Structure 1
Amino acid sequence: MESALYEVTGNIAVITLNNPPINGLGLDLRKAVIASIDRAGQDPAVHAIVLAGSDRAFSGGADVKEFGTPKSSTEPNLLSVIRTVESSDKPVVAAIAGACMGGGLELALGCHFRVAKADAQIALPEVKLGLLPGAGGTQRLPRLVGLGTALNMIVSGSIVPAAQLKASSLFDEIVDSDVRSAAIRFAQRVVAENRPLRRVRDLQIKDAGGEAFLQSARDKVAASSKHFPAPLKCVDAVAAAYTKPFDEGMKIEREAFLALMTTPESRALRHAFTAERAAAKIPDVPADTPTRHIGRVAVIGAGTMGGGIAMNFLNAGIPVTLLEMKQEALDRGLATIRRNYENSMKRGKLSADQLEARMALLQPTLSYDDIKDADLVIEAVFEDIGVKEQVFGKIDEVMKPGAILASNTSTLDMNRIAGFTKRPQDVIGLHFFSPANVMRLLEVVRAEKTAKDVLATVMQLAKKIKKVAVVSGVCDGFIGNRMLKFYRNQANALLEEGASPQQIDRALENWGMAMGPFRMGDLAGLDIGWAIRKRLYAENPGMKRSVIADRLCGLGRFGQKTGKGWYRYEAGRRDALPDPEVDAIIAAARKEAGITPREVSDEEIIERCIYALVNEGARILEEGIAARASDIDMVYLHGYGFPAHRGGPMLVADLAGLPNVVAKMRGFAAQPSADAAFWEPARLLVRLAEAGKTFN
């Protein structure tokens, strides 16, 4: 396949980028563009050049297939391509439709003129990878749209429709029709009128008060991006476009780009970018596996979880039937959904018409008969195997053949749940995270007999409802909650040894976690964990008990919803306040266990909690519960508040060096109060460490 197509229409050469799906600027395409520009330059019959993409994308930027390979920097690199385009003696017009992002936009900025379709998506999203535009984006964009607009686009990485930039000099023409034909006509006018070539590098930025604006922007960006160096570097580079000659600004941009490439923050964000795409690929389910049609969804249970799940489908325009057993519970659930949408409307994220359109897709019912024609049914009822058995027995009886039967269980055995039906091949786990209408993670639990087309269907559906879907095998707690148990184990052990809930939470939050384990427990509700522990105690009578946590729950301290948990909460506020009653419970438990409290460092808190996650993650990989280490990182980044700038627990271990992680674990095992068996490194972890390899 040719990477760029070349044809001549009259006196206009049309070069069409041809690297689907998004015309990633890989090495072959870069070479083809330069060769085509040279060919057009040498043809006396050609008077101007149109550089076009497809309707889907002019270019989405760098080719992700080349990330981390020598090809990404092999000449001609993107800078060389842009120099070739910009220095052409014949006018070059970019015909922009679909995605025009990152290097794609930088290439367009190197053209002399630009014609865009009104709905083209314009962005410089490099900051989302911990980088800044490295091929002139920070220098050329401000020269066309002004400091304010350019800086907002570059620091946020947000997508802007071309029509929104109509008032700027970025586009010479914005059209609603075929952009390729419009660009050819525009190029013909440029030739007929003998217009001079407009090289963006030669333009001046004429923003009054630019220095004051840049200083204010620098202060705001510094305050909002403490874990990430890239946003401030973006400000510096844009400032250089304002204060320095073009070539000096380019040098500053390039130096910043190369420096950011080596930061752990960029490494983490790039890892997450590729990991999210990898998670969608299931090794034994081919990409062309046929999928089942999902035209209507049913949700059983109108509580917080069920209502949130329903909203995901309503947001995507998919009708939902919401089933409850009692009218009062159904009314309460409907009111909560409407209130959530009204809150979105107040924040300007939803119009009144959109609110009513979504509510119109929702059909409430008290009868199982009303869900029988749904293509997918998701139960979101109480987390008890007996309750699940009743529900699955009923839906097995009423649902049409071929319907997918899903459970929102967070810990229970999906093989057992599938066994409650006569069609286990149609059963799957869809573990949404709370609040389900906000959290991006969806753990897709593949039971022993789940059909491949069922798996392919829900993975496709997850994209439609804007979830990051990660496939898990069946085990207690699946990927996320199984690992979380070990994280909490260490938090509880550190508490017994001498740390306070406040110190543990503060240490982990300062490290980057969205919430420490004790604040998170109070938010989620301690009764949920208590119910799971009681089940596990019954199943494993010899297991160690969480004495302090159990005593809190025994006193009715279930967290924010009861006003008391690990902390106390004042009415109408969510501030986690230290509680002397909790301190007394902790002190009594230590005394009964014969523990003399000691000083615990923040470093020990972080390493023990995070390496506990890593060790169990290694076992999950070894058992095949997760297909790849990056899937585990996706679960923690999108479902458990793991800091984006760390990239996930398995990447943290990779960057620390697996031999160092193993040595730390063995050091923890040797401590006088340690549970040595807990810190036995997973076989996979030891094997990789000894081989000098990494998880990812």
Structure 2
Amino acid sequence: MIFQGKAITVQQLDDGIAELRFDLSGESVNKFDTLTVTELDAAITALERTEGLTGLLVSSGKNVFIVGADITEFGPVFEQGPDAAIRHLAQNNVNLNRLEDLSVPTVVVINGFALGGGFEFCLACDYRVAASTAKVGFPEVKLGLIPGWGGTVRLPRLAGLDTGIEWIAGGRDQAAAVALRAGAVDAVVEPALLHDTALRTLRQCIDGKLDYRARRRQKQAPLQHNETELPMALETAKAFVAAQAGRHYPAPVTAVNAIEKAASLSRDEAIAVEARAFAEVAQTDAARALVGLFLSEQLIGKKAKTWERSAAAKVARAAVLGAGIMGGGIAYQSALKGIPIHMKDIAQAGLDLGLAEAGKLLAKQVERGRLAPAKMAQVLAGITPTLSYDGFDQVDLVVEAVVENPKVKHAVLAEVEARVGADTIVTSNTSTISISHLAQALQRPENFCGMHFFNPVHAMPLVEVIRGEKTSDATVARTVAYANALGKKAIVVRDCPGFLVNRVLFPYFAGFSMLVRDGADFQQIDRVMEKWGWPMGPAYLLDVVGIDTGVHCEAVMAEGFPDRMGKPFKACTDILFEADRYGQKNGKGFYDYEKDQRGKPRKTATEESYKLLEPHVAAGRSFSDEEIIARTMVPMATELARCLEEGIVGSAAEADMALIYGLGFPPFRGGVFRWMDAVGLPAFCDMATAHTALGKLYEPTDGMTELARADRTYYSTTGA
């Protein structure tokens, strides 16, 4: 044994060949944490001192190669400033340069994911042999960062400028076959042949049949590109990347700038340029937020897996009550993930609509080449449309998705409970009605909880699992397990009107309604909030949700929280509702809608909504962007803080992720709590207090005030 560590071993094979194997102890994947980086330094030193060494094979003892750096180490490093970030990169940059400069050829076996720092390691080797199932790439821009261990230097020199920019600025994983065509890997074989093929490639290097030294010279020299074409290509790329990324995400353009500055430099000079660019972007708000989101996502996933492990059994067969768009979407998702589902309705028209929705979604997948026609037929066969309860005694979990009316839901829930087994979980897809109230209709309330999907089901990742007063842990566990099986992000919350997401969404809408009441132009509000980062402004969002749905939910929220959500004025949504302007569903709301060439609704401004609003609102006046942001966001933020303080949601991380998954809250802001932390709680409380004349929605909570006084943040307090 040449080297033995907790993350790396190096052993001697035949003919002077050594094999360096990554196998991080106690972890399911390999990553470049401090331990691995330190051991790599020691392992390379051992190799440099090994007499008779002829070649180095690199492999992984896990089912992936290396998934990248240890993101949990970033936060403390970045807080110390750019110099600390550069120091953090330095050791592994030295390691990879030493690897590339070894006196013997190196070949790496890529048996699974090789991402970020893992792929940078692969690029430092002379040849790369990948399994047909492997994926490589640079996801750093998704964290608001750029590669920091030579990725912007080696990939363009190996695979070309266009490939380097596309892969690094795009942040997508690349299939092995794509990487082979690009020249980023040298061979792709079936997994069973991987190790032998890599060894054969290494022996060809040793025997002089492959010129590995030429490959090294290519990576260590300046970028080979025509001096006239290079500036033009880079300027075009920067313009395209900037347009694609948007102004809130600086990392992709920073990466292109780093490639440009390093194009005429040697390897070591170029890597120094990359390190400075990495350190610069690591200090941005976007990087802090997106790294935080990554860690929060890991927390959400771990919690969901913990619930799943405690489930008595998996859901093998499900049912949905109420077809239509929502029921069809749930049925589609379940069948697509291999869980057969009964789809029941009281009318054939409803079943036809539900099947049509599932068929439409599947046809799109086939059209885009993501699904084979045979698989489409298999998925459709997994949906059993029915007008009766036949077969419901065999299902493990039921999702009730009928009309949002407590009396109707009570009747349907009692009816289905009588037709299913004693251990069957019954859930409701209600968006606002109390789970504890709905449970009053049931004989086994411990087997009942909320399972709130978001529309469109296939696209929205969040499922709120709502625990009622009598819901058992076993019910929560099995429901979360089903959500996991559907590929959804399950977040468990306690029961209250609106639960978590809708409870904080409607204060946002209330802030919007008060702005319109006070003379603000709803189109200006939309523009400001979209510029701030929302995918659509509040007026547009209400049109998409449905103004009739919004009015119904506002009434539920006002009944549940009359001191904050009661309306002492006639809101813009009430006015449009009374005029039968429901939004996209009937082609007219705040905006008018017509279908474009692809059949999607396209909004256009209309004077009719302004004329309807005019008698009920103040004379039009201009509001600053800052005031619009404060008046819409403060109510959402204070209500979310109340949810955390009341224990409706377990942590700031879960609350933030729920709004990102369920509402499309701007990811680069990291969530509402991270946004408040970035603003500073003292400054946020001042912003809120300046508007308390508008009502209790603008009053900072006790917990918020305490944190502000102590100059603390939500994430420093909770750690999650």
TM-score tier (shorter): over 0.9
Q: Which has a greater percent of helix? A: 2
Secondary structure, counterpart of 2:694 in structure 1 = coil
**Deviations 1:190-238, CA, capped at 9 Å, x for gaps:** 3344865442523665566554433322221122222211111222233
Question: Which residue of structure 1 lines up, in the alignment, with residue 718 of structure 2?
Answer: none
Q: 1:490 touches 1:608 (CA, 8 Å); kept in 2? A: yes
1:34 aligns with 2:37: no
- Correspondence 1:654 to 2:681: no
Equivalent-residue separation in structure 2 for 1:142 and 1:535 (angstroms): 57
Tell whether 2:8 aligns with 1:4: yes
Alignment of 1:273-292 (within 5 A): 273-282=294-303, 288-292=309-313
**1:191 aligned residue:** 206
Q: Indicate the residue corresponding to 2:553 in structure 1.
A: 532
Q: Partners in 1 of 2:309 and 2:332 — Cα distance?
A: 29
SS of the aligned residue for 1:693 comes to coil
Equivalent position of 1:558 in the other structure: 582
The percent of aligned pairs where both chains have the same amino acid is: 33
Indicate conservation of the 8 Å contact 2:44/2:95, yes or no: no
Matched, 1:56 2:79: no
2: CA distance, partners of 1:152 / 1:301: 45
- Counterpart of 1:15 in structure 2 is 20
Residue of structure 2 equivalent to 1:140: 154
Match of 2:268 in 1: 247
**Where in structure 2 are the equivalents of 1:90-129 lying within 5 Å?**
90-129=104-143
1:62 Cα offset (Å): 0.6
SS at match of 1:372: helix
Which digits, 9 at most, give the CA deviation of each residue in 1:309-367, with x for residues without a partner? 22222222322221111112111221222123223433444343332232222221111
Q: Note closer, same or farther for the CA distance 1:400–1:42 as it changes in structure 2 (3 Å cut).
A: same
Write the letter of the residue equivalent to 2:254: K
Is residue 17–residue 52 contact of structure 1 (8 Å, CA) maintained in 2? yes
Say which SS state the counterpart of residue 44 (structure 1) adopts.
Answer: coil
- Between 246-255 and 57-66, report the one with greater CA deviation: 246-255
Give per-residue Cα distances to partners, 1:33-92, cap 9 Å, x unaligned.
Answer: 221222233222543222211342110001133231359855873212212312222333
Check if 1:80 corresponds to 2:94. Answer: yes
Alignment of 1:284-683 (within 5 A): 288-535=309-556, 543-545=566-568, 547-548=570-571, 549-570=573-594, 574-590=601-617, 598-669=621-692, 674-683=693-702
Q: Does the 8 A contact of 1:341 with 1:355 survive in 2?
A: yes
Bigger drift between 473-482 and 549-558 goes to 549-558
Structure 2, unaligned stretches of length 5 or more? 78-83, 716-720
Looking at structure 1, the residues matched to 674 and 562 of structure 2 have their Cα atoms a distance apart, in angstroms, of 35
Structure 2 CA distance, aligned partners of 1:537 and 1:236? Answer: 52
- What SS does the corresponding residue of 2:544 show, helix, strand or coil? helix
Change (3 A) 1:403 1:215: same
**460-469 or 533-542: which moved more?**
533-542
CA gap of 1:120–1:580, structure 2 versus 1, over 3 A, is: closer
| 2:648 alignment partner, SS class | coil
**Partners of 1:92 and 1:603 in 2: how far apart?**
57
Decide whether the 8 Å contact of 1:299 with 1:377 is kept in 2.
yes
Aligned length: 688
Deviation at 1:168, TM superposition (A): 4.2
> How big is the shift at 1:140?
0.4
What does the per-residue CA deviation read over 1:144-186, in whole Å, with 9 as the maximum and x for residues that have no partner? 2222222221111111121222234433332212534443443
Confirm or deny that 1:201 pairs with 2:208. no
**Which region of structure 1 is more displaced relative to structure 2, 656-665 or 145-154?**
145-154
| Aligned counterparts of 1:576 and 1:175: Cα–Cα separation in 2 | 50
On the 8 A contact 1:54/1:97 being kept in 2, the answer is no
Check 1:290–1:238 CA distance in 2 against 1; reply closer, same or farther (3 A cut). same
Q: Is the 8 A contact 1:30 1:76 kept in 2?
A: no
Q: Counterpart of 2:714 in 1: which secondary structure?
A: coil
Determine the C-alpha separation between the residues in 1 that align with 2:559 and 2:498: 16
Cα contact 2:425–2:448 (8 A) shared by 1: yes
Q: Counterpart in 1 of 2:80?
A: none
Deviation for aligned residue 1:288: 4.6
Most deviating of 39-48 and 485-494: 39-48
Letter in 2 for 1:113: Y
Which residue in the other structure is 1:684 paired with? 703
Please tell me whether the aligned partners of residues 222 and 266 of structure 2 are also in contact (alpha carbons under 8 angstroms). Answer: no
Residues 659-668 or 228-237, more deviating:
228-237
Shift of 1:242: 4.0
**Are 1:24 and 2:31 counterparts?**
yes
**In the alignment, what sits opposite 1:695?**
714
Per-residue deviation at 1:514? 1.1
Q: Structure 2 counterpart of 1:144, which letter? A: L
Is this contact kept in 2: 1:6–1:15, CA < 8 A? yes
| Higher deviation after alignment, 87-96 or 132-141 | 87-96
Q: Secondary structure at the match of 1:167?
A: helix
User: 3-state SS of the aligned residue for 1:16?
Assistant: strand
In structure 2, the residue corresponding to 1:547 is in which secondary structure?
coil
Alignment partners' CA distance in 2, 1:286 and 1:574? 40
- Tell whether the 8 Å contact from 2:65 to 2:111 is kept in structure 1 after alignment: yes
Distance 1:160 1:577, change over 3 A: closer
Paired position in structure 1 for 2:75: 68
| Per-residue deviation, 1:244 | 3.5
Equivalent residue letter for 2:220: D
Asked if structure 1 preserves the Cα contact closer than 8 Å seen for 2:543 and 2:583, the reply is yes
One-letter code of the match for 1:552? L
Cα distance, 1:616 vs. partner? 0.8
Shift of 1:133: 0.7
Instruction: Give the superposition deviation at 1:257.
Output: 0.9
Seen in structure 2, the aligned counterparts of structure 1 residues 292 and 76 have a Cα distance that, compared at 3 Å, is farther
The 1:291/1:78 distance shift into structure 2, 3 A limit, reads: farther
Change (3 A) 1:467 1:513: same
- The aligned counterpart of 1:237 is 258
Query: Normalized against structure 1, the TM-score is what?
Result: 0.92
Task: State the alpha-carbon separation in 2 of the partners of residues 114 and 343 from structure 1.
Answer: 36
Q: Which amino acid aligns with 1:124?
A: F
Report the CA distance shift for 1:32/1:460 in structure 2 as closer, same or farther (over 3 A): farther
Partner in structure 1 of residue 292 of structure 2:
271
Check whether the contact 2:112–2:135 (CA below 8 A) recurs between aligned residues. Answer: yes
For 1:394, the aligned partner's letter is E
- The amino acid that maps onto 2:704 is L
CA contact (8 A) 1:515 1:641 kept: no
3-state SS in 1 of match to 2:491: strand
| Matching of residues 155-194 of structure 1 within 5 Å | 155-176=169-190, 177-193=192-208
- Measured on the aligned residues, the alpha-carbon RMSD in Å equals 2.6
Give the Cα–Cα distance (whole angstroms) in 2 for the partners of residues 12 and 291 of structure 1.
50
- Contact residue 151 and residue 235 of structure 1 kept, 8 A: yes
CA contact (8 A) 1:291 1:454 kept: no
Q: Which residue number corresponds to residue 81 of structure 2? A: none
